Amino acid sequence: MFTYEVVEGTSIEITDYPEKATGDVVIPADIEGLPVTGIGRRAFYSCTSLTSVSIPNSVISIGLHAFNSCTSLTSVTIPTSVTSIGNSAFGSCTGLTSISIPSSVTSIGSLAFQNCTSLTSIMVEQGNVAYASLDGVLFSIDRTEIIQYPTGKVGAYTIPNGVTSIGYGAFALSPNLTQITIPNGVISIGTAAFYSCTSLTSVTIPNGVTSIGNSAFYGCTNLASTYFLGNAPVIGSSVFSQANENHIFYYLDTSTGFTSPTWEGYPTQMINTATYPAAAWLLSSNHSYDTNLVQDINGDGVSLLMAYALKLNPNERLGNRLPKVVFDDANTLSMKY
């Protein structure tokens, strides 16, 4: 049934399943009296009829592309013996809806769950010393790097404050990601970070970003506008290749490093901050830089102008957060939030 190798005479690594696994497959805990400790590179690659797999507690490592393109795989339990998951190990497993990372895992390769189009949740068990999860998204343990956004999630996503880097392919091939909010603390956007996110129409790059990796926004075919709130970052190759044919780069007149009439192969337009002093604030809140500040966009009784003056998030309900006039015991006037 399984093809395997004996490793240093002490353990077994599954290397192939020649009959092409179908239905439910149980990997044995031992073969020839030796423990099965590894699932090797491409061992179950493209077993398109595999629906579930039982991995024994003896397994320590899941190799590169081990279950890649197992499109019918809907259920997999990673045991607490596993310490490493290889690059693209579960990539293109389009039937997976959730995955749980046990506390034992200390190494997850790049794109391990890339292009899992039904995946909406990656959870990390408590006690893991290398990784964490928040709202089903995979982060480094200190939550400074976003590692994998489940590609089955739908709608807008706001990267939480504290994140400083967007990892390799973190959002790649997320066809239903419609809007992304990147916080000011982000410094680097990794290679292929938003590769082929075809529903993105606009993105704002905060002023802290100093580098954008190769192909970061490659194939974002509906991306029509990119706004930069700081100086031009160091930029890799093909970063915006195959964006919308009408794509425009916007940058503030206080920024440096951009060129006109084109930059990186697309037209540019400079935003005059004297004419639009709230431009950066509006853009960081995912609004057009020339939005009329008199508007009350969410009907909470607070105009954009008031929110701007108080440096509040205009996308939140602000009616109960406005400052109130109060007097302290010494009859001193102050404002209380």
- C-alpha span between 223 and 193 (Å, rounded): 14
- C-alpha dist (Å) from residue 84 to 29, 180, 273: 18, 30, 50
Q: What is the pLDDT of residue 163?
A: 98
Is residue 76 within 8 Å of residue 50, measured between CB atoms?
no
Q: Helices marked H in 131-289 — which ranges? A: 279-284
Q: Where are the domains of the chain?
A: 1-115, 292-337
- C-alpha span between 149 and 121 (Å, rounded): 8
Is residue 108 within 8 Å of residue 88, measured between CB atoms?
no
Q: What is the pLDDT of residue 323?
A: 57
Instruction: Give the length of the chain.
Output: 337
For residue 79, say if its preceding peptide bond is cis, omega within 30 degrees of 0: no
What is the token pair recorded at 181? Answer: 């909010």
Class at the top of the CATH hierarchy for domain 1-115: alpha beta
> Beta 3-7 vs 155-158: how paired, if at all?
unpaired
- C-alpha dist (Å) from residue 46 to 21, 82, 156, 281, 286: 9, 22, 31, 47, 40
Enter the DSSP assignment of 245.
Answer: T
The tens digit of pLDDT for each residue in 188-237 reads 999 999 999 999 999 999 999 999 999 999 999 999 999 999 999 999 99
Both ends of the chain: CA-CA distance in Å?
68
- C-alpha span between 156 and 173 (Å, rounded): 15
Give the predicted TM-score (pTM) of the model.
0.90
Beta-strand ranges (E) seen in 141-241 are 145-148, 155-158, 165-166, 177-181, 188-189, 202-205, 211-212, 225-228, 234-235
Q: What is the pLDDT of residue 326?
A: 47
Q: Could you read off the pLDDT tens digit of each residue along the chain, which spans 337 residues? A: 789 999 999 999 999 987 666 788 899 999 999 999 999 999 999 999 999 999 999 999 999 999 999 999 998 999 999 999 999 999 999 999 999 999 999 999 999 999 999 999 999 999 999 999 999 999 999 999 999 999 999 999 999 999 999 999 999 999 999 999 999 999 999 999 999 999 999 999 999 999 999 999 999 999 999 999 999 999 999 999 999 999 999 999 999 999 999 999 999 999 999 999 999 999 998 899 999 998 888 787 888 888 888 888 888 877 666 555 445 566 554 545 5
Q: What is the pLDDT of residue 237?
A: 97
Q: Within 10 Å of residue 269's Cβ, how many Cβ atoms?
A: 13
What is the token pair recorded at 279? Answer: 């431009």
Q: What is the pLDDT of residue 324?
A: 53
Enter the DSSP assignment of 160.
Answer: P
Name, in order, each residue with C-beta under 8 angstroms of 285's C-beta and a sequence gap of 6 or more: 313, 314, 315
